[in-house]
Amino acid sequence: MKTQIATEKAPGAIGPYSQAIDCGPFVFASGQIPLNPETGEIPQGITEQTRQSLSNVKAILEAAGLTMDNVVKTTVYLADMNDFAAMNAVYAEAFTAPFPARSAVAVRELPKQVLVEIEVLAAK
């Protein structure tokens, strides 16, 4: 059985998808771009965009009754792999050891021309 997770503290889904799905022992969160849910604005630069994307992830996890410590896997999509080090510095502030497994890939383009998108899988 699956249950939709939704919160106004993260950007709403703008298509046929959910912010997250609770599926038994796991919560699957959709990729989060750095859109501020209160203002609709996107911050400038990879550092602030990574911070906002992670803030959106955190809000969704909280709506599911979880924290960043529950994250077991992340996927980071970057518009430019040259931003990896700066993204990684902010990412390291969001998680503690043992760190989640992670994939980081460069993509040709992201929604709204953002620099980063982050999705997570969390275990209850």
| pLDDT tens track for 33-90 | 999 999 999 999 999 999 999 999 999 999 999 999 999 999 999 999 999 999 999 9
- Name the residue among 34, 33, 26 with its Cα closest to residue 100: 26
* 1: confidence class by pLDDT, cuts 50, 70, 90: confident
Q: Where are the beta strands (DSSP E) in the chain?
A: 3-5, 20-23, 26-32, 71-78, 101-106, 116-123
Q: Can you give the residue ranges of every domain in the chain?
A: 3-123
pTM: 0.96
Neighbour tally for 16: CB within 10 Å: 5
CATH, range 3-123: 3.30.1330.40
